[in-house]
Amino acid sequence: MTHRPIALLFGVHAHQPAGNFDSVMEEAHLRCYRMFLQTVERYPDFRFSVHFSGWLLDWLIEHYPEDMARLAMMTRRGQVEWFGSGDCEPVLAAIPQRDRISQIRTLSDKIERVFGQRPKGAWLTERVWESVVVPSLADCGIEYVAVDDYHFLCAGESADRLDGHFTTEEDGRRLDLFPISEQARYRLPFSPAEEAIEWLEEQARAGRRAAVYFDDIEKFGIWPETYHWVYEQGWLTRFIEGVLGSPLIKTGSYAEFHATQPTRGIVYLPTTSYIEMNEWTLPAPAARAYHALLDQEKQADRFETRKSFLRGGMWRNFFMRYAESNWMHKRMLDASRRFADLPLTQRTLQMQEMLHRTQANDAYWHGLFGGLYLPHLRRAIWNNLLALESAIAAVSPRPPFERVDLDCDGHDELFLRSDTLQAVARADGDAALIEFSSFPLAHNFVDTLRRYDEGYHDKLREARSGDNAQHNGIASAHDRIAFRHAIHPDDATPDSRARAMFVDCWHPAKNSPQPLCDYREVSPATFSTAIGGGQLTKSYYVSGGRLLVRYQAQGATGQLKIQLNAAMPSCDGYLGRYVLENGSIPGGFGDPLKLASLQRLQLDDGVLGGSLLIEISQPVSLTAKAHQTVSQSEAGFEKIMQAVELNFSWPLDGTAQELSFVLKAHRQPA
């Protein structure tokens, strides 16, 4: 019996987060992107699709033009089909319609200008599907996208039909959808090349029209063990030669398949992402329950037939899970609105590029990958956001005081501004600063992250040594348990309060400490609470380059502990240091610091190119240490410094007393 060859629609997605370190980018290119391109270049008949995020593409064109010329040559000879998307890799569903269109068109224009091909297909960031994206994609000339076959199973489609494209519509626009094979994703490149070829041939013998593969190119060289496996042991070469040598497999482009094969019919997909992401979106208690349910179904050998009904959460849940992510997102949306409100003559391409970079997905979420837990990725969002706001303010100034519940948490935020500073106090029980930003430095000194309870922290207690081999191949990062740092279970103890500035705790003379979390606003940016039979008032003022925070106490005896969490880009690196009022340097930000008395402390940061100066109206004691979190990544569990935790202690004697802090941000001399 003669079998029709199966069309192998092979696509790879390449992305690095905006703001990633050059050293990381270089390693990714040398160990993955260059190696992959050099390998496939030798086989002109091996046709494949690529998606490079725009920010990465710009970086590669600047730093490795010869490899981009190689990719352009393969495009010209018809070997490569380009996929588009948002230029800075946003989750399209999480940004406004106007920004979806500008992001998609920017990347499509770039690809057409550099490589001579305008994309008809698009990659969806993290395969996050919401039907709201259909009109934006269609209006930008995108005809089809690739999402997981899991999306289709959740819509009730039969797995037997997932060998071609389907059609959906929204608001009068149509878009076709290709189902990415989960079985292919798990096999390539983790199982031996010969087994992968055999599986593809089995699919052909079963009469399937296409095997749809589109996944991270970083699995071909960057993920643990993959460089040795894919290149040094020749997996990719053997796979390509096996595909080209098989009469049952034919490589092709999505565009060709789409043009020659009819749609499988109409489909309406639910809001979802890939199955691992749906678990990561859940808060820890729900994630544990969900994971237990999945394990139960796997042990009962029911998982494959029921997984489409075990959907977990949705991507936007990250804004619910992490207050820091939600704050960045709502600040980004506000900046987008203000940019859109400018007259066209006042908008610039530089402003639009900064806006696009504030929408890069990586810093807004967390799962197997660091994302939100990586300070340099969050910092890239804040750098661009504050630079954009400075540019907008130059043509459309903002008022010195605003009140709005921007993050939809039920509490107003109070914005206090000057030309150079912005302080944001939340009118809740803590009455703390959730943002303290310097516009000249384009830095938010409260860009930190509290310790959260994460479902995967259970692995800290369960981890054990063993062979992680999968089949006869290598283990996917999803299946590995490794440790990049020595981690104690106490390192993952969740915080009970937000990591902010001017978070207060009352230590009575004889009783246990009492967190001050019942402040009430008595006038704009002034808050009051009862302590020890007396009263404490806290007020915020911004003027010029100074933030003034004034405490006034009456009738209380004990110690007031005032905590400032300061995000310093050097973290525990050698470019960050404390400087005392006498000019001495007691250590770096990663070192513990204890002083019986001080009135002036400067935090110098070479990465920031600036410093934070704290001046206090009278001597207080200080203890300082690094605030660290524990997170997982594809390389293993790691501890990451998020901020400097500064704890000031002010003794109260029952009389009327006052203590003031002045904070100033300075740029270092060139």
CA proximity to 526, closest of 504, 506, 549? 549
- Calculate mean pLDDT across residues 464-484: 50
Instruction: Tell me the per-residue pLDDT of 357-374, one tens digit each, with 9 for 90 and over.
Output: 999 999 999 987 769 999
Can you give the length of the chain in residues?
670
Residues 328 and 61: their CA atoms lie apart, in Å, by: 30
Residue 2: the pLDDT is 76
Residue 12: the pLDDT is 98
How big is the CA angle at 252 (ends 246 and 257), to the nearest 5 degrees?
125
Q: Which residues contact 116 (CB under 8 A, 6 or more apart)?
A: 72, 75, 76
pLDDT over threshold 50, residue 467? no
Residues 529 and 385: their CA atoms lie apart, in Å, by: 34
Question: Which domains are assigned to the chain?
Answer: 6-280 (3.20.110.20), 282-315 (no CATH), 324-398 (no CATH), 455-462+470-667 (2.70.98.10)
pLDDT over threshold 80, residue 152? yes
Residue 461: the pLDDT is 67
Residue 437: the pLDDT is 98
Residue 592's φ and ψ, nearest 5 degrees, are -70, 150
Residues 219 and 227: their CA atoms lie apart, in Å, by: 9
Q: SS3 of 15, please?
A: coil
Q: SS3 of 257, please?
A: helix
Query: What region, left, alpha or beta, does residue 89 occupy, with left being phi > 0 and alpha being psi -120 to 50 degrees?
Result: left
Q: What are 542's two structure tokens?
A: 């911004």
pLDDT over threshold 70, residue 481? no
Instruction: Tell me the per-residue pLDDT of 162-179, one tens digit each, with 9 for 90 and over.
Output: 999 999 999 999 999 999
CA proximity to 364, closest of 333, 403, 340, 390? 333
Residue 373: the pLDDT is 95
Residue 465: the pLDDT is 44
What residue type is 27 in one-letter code? E
Rg (CA), the chain: 27
pLDDT over threshold 80, residue 472? no
Which residue out of 126, 201, 362, 407 is catalytically annotated?
Answer: 126
Residues 227 and 98: their CA atoms lie apart, in Å, by: 40
pLDDT over threshold 50, residue 470? no
Instruction: Tell me the per-residue pLDDT of 495-532, one tens digit each, with 9 for 90 and over.
Output: 999 999 999 999 998 888 999 999 999 999 999 999 98
Instruction: Tell me the per-residue pLDDT of 91-101, one tens digit each, with 9 for 90 and over.
Output: 999 999 999 99
Residue 369: the pLDDT is 74
Query: What region, left, alpha or beta, does residue 571 occupy, with left being phi > 0 and alpha being psi -120 to 50 degrees?
Result: left
Check if 279 is active-site: no
* Residue 463 banded pLDDT, cuts 50, 70, 90: low
Q: Are 552 and 504 in contact (CB under 8 A)?
A: no
Residue 329: the pLDDT is 98
Instruction: Tell me the per-residue pLDDT of 113-133, one tens digit each, with 9 for 90 and over.
Output: 999 999 999 999 999 999 999
Q: At what angle do helices 97-115 and 323-341 cross, to 10 degrees?
A: 80
Please state the pTM of the whole predicted model: 0.94
Residue 370: the pLDDT is 67
Q: Are 630 and 460 in contact (CB under 8 A)?
A: yes
Which residue out of 216, 241, 495, 615 is catalytically annotated?
Answer: 216
CA proximity to 513, closest of 536, 494, 532, 491? 532
* Residue 76 banded pLDDT, cuts 50, 70, 90: very high
Residue 670: the pLDDT is 62
How many Cβ atoms are within 10 Å of 584's Cβ, its own excluded?
Answer: 8
Q: SS3 of 486, please?
A: coil
Instruction: Tell me the per-residue pLDDT of 194-208, one tens digit each, with 9 for 90 and over.
Output: 999 999 999 999 999
- Calculate mean pLDDT across residues 275-279: 90
Instruction: Tell me the per-residue pLDDT of 601-658, one tens digit each, with 9 for 90 and over.
Output: 999 999 999 999 999 999 999 999 999 999 887 667 889 999 999 999 999 999 999 9
Instruction: Tell me the per-residue pLDDT of 101-112, one tens digit each, with 9 for 90 and over.
Output: 999 999 999 999
Residue 311: the pLDDT is 87
Check if 45 is active-site: no
Residue 466: the pLDDT is 46
pLDDT over threshold 80, residue 348? yes
How big is the CA angle at 231 (ends 229 and 236), to the nearest 5 degrees?
90
Residues 77 and 84: their CA atoms lie apart, in Å, by: 19
Instruction: Tell me the per-residue pLDDT of 205-262, one tens digit each, with 9 for 90 and over.
Output: 999 999 999 999 999 999 889 999 999 999 999 999 999 999 999 999 999 999 999 9
Instruction: Tell me the per-residue pLDDT of 390-446, one tens digit each, with 9 for 90 and over.
Output: 999 999 999 999 999 999 999 999 999 999 999 999 999 999 999 999 999 999 999
Residue 327: the pLDDT is 98
Mean pLDDT score across all residues of the chain: 94
Q: Are 98 and 352 in contact (CB under 8 A)?
A: no
